[in-house]
Amino acid sequence: MINEISSDVSYLINQINEIINNKNILEIIYEDEKINGNNCLTKEQTQQKPTIKMSQHYQNNKYLTLIMIDPDAPSSDQPITGPFIHWMLTNFQENNEIDGLSICPYMGPGPRPGTGRHRYIFLLYESTEQIKEEKTFNDIPQRRKFPLMKFVSDNNLQLLDVTLFTVDAC
């Protein structure tokens, strides 16, 4: 059914509850504000790509993937187009996002007025092999209902850390 909530939304919420800021590996910083899982930011604060920092060093044979995703699209009451992918950076190592592959270019939050509070979740994964993704997510229709479980499974990703912030769409 077209108006059905994706099972990937539930999967994503379970990931948050399981590991959020549990390991403190991932640091996401917008302007001067470090994301800690409790931040409520404005759309305006988040339109530029954030700074990413890792608190641990990784072996050269490990690759990192960072995904920013909104499970509350188009609204927190009816997330029928979620999860909506806002950014995906793959195959980078350490704090060097420059050596990564941007499968989905950064798109800052833009919830429509009246759609409630939206959670913007950052998931950090590691893998032993590079991700060979031929599909890119440039247009809004391509970003809707991102198949997160399939992507994680197909690429043998191991979740390292999760953090999030919210934006109120009043």
Q: What are the residues facing 67 on neighbouring strands?
A: 88, 123
Q: Cα dist. 14→39, 61, 114, 162 in Å? A: 20, 28, 26, 11
| CATH number of the domain located at residue range(s) 7-169 in this protein | 3.90.280.10
Tens of pLDDT, residue by residue over 51-99, are 988 877 666 678 999 999 999 999 888 888 989 999 999 998 876 666 7
DSSP letter (8 states) at residue 23: S
Q: Could you state, in order of their start, the residue ranges of all structural domains in the chain? A: 7-169
CB 133 within 8 A of CB 83: no
Half-sphere exposure (Cβ direction) of 12: Cα atoms closer than 13 Å: 30
Which value, to the nearest 10 degrees, does the dihedral of the CA atoms of residues 8, 12, 14, 18 take? 150
pLDDT at 118 over 90: yes
**pLDDT for 77:** 87
This prediction has a pTM of: 0.89
